[in-house]
Amino acid sequence: TAEAATATVRADTPGPTYDRRIFTQFAEHLGTGIYGGLWVGNDRRIPNTRGFRNDVVGALKELGVPVIRWPGGCFADEYHWREGIGPKNKRPVKINTHWGGVTEPNTVGTHEFMDLAEQIGAEAYVAGNVGNGTPQEMAEWVEYMTSPAGTLAEERARNGHKAPWKVPYFGVGNELWGCGGNMRPEYAADLTRRYATFIKAPEGTRILKIAAGANVDDYKWTETMIREAAGQIDALSLHYYTIPGSWPPRGSPTVFDEAGWAETLAGAWKMDELITKHTAIMDKYDPQKRIWLAVDEWGTWYAQDPGTHPGFLRQQNSLRDALVAAIHLNVFAKHADRVKMTAIAQMVNVLQAMILTDGPRMVKTPTYHVFKMYKPYMDAAVLPIEIKSPWYNKDQWTMPAISASAVRDKAGQVHVGLANADPNRSITVTATLTGVTAGTVSGQIVTAPAMNAINTFDAPNTVVPAAFTGAQVAGNTLTVTLPAKSVVMLDLR
Ligand code: AHR
């Protein structure tokens, strides 16, 4: 028999918008994230458009990726934009000091990235170099990209792009507490004020400035940044990775027992506590909630796949990652008044990737499929949801078995996202819907017989959405039986 949970979905009191930018993706010059995963240049074996592979771009377009964050990450605070413009054969070959010490050919630079964003239909979130760059270099990059006139705009035109690009989001460095310069928060706040001053948008346009925020539970960082730099910024970031075990990541992405499953999902749930505490600090200094919390790096971080370069952060992606993704996307709904952007790390071949590639082959991960299922959430109104769930416990790991969120989209349709973290028991959720009477419910489910089920190049359809028939609606009561270890998206009509 299934365990029981109860819930109330308050469609009569819709809350803030579930911002589409919560589905932002991060693409760094790291491993095969850019080179090989997205960019194949002139490799004729892999169909591409101006160097970007058609299969990967097509899959990302299907997701409706709203924004891409580039070029890092740690890479950003050593990146000099001038090295990535002009004739490709004249661009300097550098060492990617953060990620494996391999060569960085600078083949993908500003023009190529902007082309990628356009091909995918995404907006650009460019992260600037505070670490070892100057405010002048940063200001000139912004001018090069966005200005309609002037010497830098002419140079851009000579390099093939006459029209200015839109750069709606600009990162004032990355992880200034670590790879971005090992700064104290007081110093980082002062530098953020200084650098942000020179990030100027041309008349009639806007560039939102995203400051480098805290690592995990560094609340002092958040407090110092918001207290000292609020006047110069539009968003403050937060980075939190789900890492079973301690740093450096040693857990296998595919070989784990139930304790490894539970520890990881409890780690995903921690995002709720982190956002709650960071936003409480932001509320003190910015009660109007003008400044977003941008969780612009999140996701699982395991040991690299056997036989791959340790600096490339290449990891498989299993049903466990699908649950991690769903728990995060549900948590973000709860905090949608402050969390207007998040970025999963990363897009292709790195950490909790959407897509894995191997030469000409490509596979969509379980995480990809969860993102696709949650697409109706983009810019929908969050519906408050109260849920009483049984707990799932394994060893010292404990969490509510059910994670849930709900939205009403612009067409008036209600969507309910649910995840059952318990790998052993199905759970029946009986939900009261206030303010909506649905006639029918349909849905999709992602699950698999094994906790560590994966999609491979040879068997790409092991963890994919299937039609879900375990929900009924009668009047304002919705009853859903969620199989063990599953993610379900319901659409009510
Ligand atoms: O996503 C990998 C790395 O994790 C990023 O470069 C950095 O910002 C973080 O530490």
CATH number, domain of 36, equals: 3.20.20.80
- The yes-or-no answer on residue 263 being catalytic is no
Same-domain status, 369 and 408: no
Q: Whose alpha carbon is nearest atom 2 of ligand 1?
A: 73
Peptide bond into 346 cis (omega under 30): yes
Query: Tokens 């696709």 label which residue?
Result: 372
- The yes-or-no answer on residue 140 being catalytic is no
Q: Is 276:335 a contact under the CB 8 Å cutoff? A: yes
DSSP 148: S
Provide the token pair at 147: 């200005």
Q: Whose alpha carbon is nearest atom 4 of ligand 1?
A: 73
Query: What is each CA distance from 4 to 401, 420, 430, in whole angstroms?
Result: 10, 12, 8
Q: How far is the CA of 304 from the centre of ligand 1 (A)?
A: 14
Same-domain status, 346 and 440: no
Residue of 428, 402, 399, 430 whose CA lies nearest to 417: 402
1: pLDDT strictly greater than 60 = no
| Owning domain of residue 198 | 19-378
Residue 472's CATH number: 2.60.40.1180
Contacts of 44 (CB under 8 A, 6+ apart): none
pLDDT tens for 96-109 read 999 999 999 999 99
Backbone angles phi, psi at 483, to 5 degrees: -60, 160
Residue of 353, 354, 407 whose CA lies nearest to 378: 407
352, 378, 404 - which closes a domain = 378
Same-domain status, 37 and 59: yes
DSSP 493: -
Could you tell me the pTM of the whole model?
Answer: 0.98
Same-domain status, 371 and 418: no
Q: How far is the CA of 432 from the centre of ligand 1 (A)?
A: 42
342, 359, 378 - which closes a domain = 378
Nearest-angstrom CA–CA distance, 326 and 477: 23
Q: Whose alpha carbon is nearest atom 9 of ligand 1?
A: 73
pLDDT tens for 43-93 read 889 999 999 999 999 999 999 999 999 999 999 999 999 999 999 999 999
Q: What is the mean pLDDT of residues 25-48?
A: 96
Amino acid at 202: P
The mean pLDDT of the chain is 97
Q: How far is the CA of 313 from the centre of ligand 1 (A)?
A: 10
pLDDT tens for 118-133 read 999 999 999 999 999 9
What pLDDT score was predicted for residue 439?
Answer: 87
pLDDT tens for 202-242 read 999 999 999 999 999 999 999 999 999 999 999 999 999 99
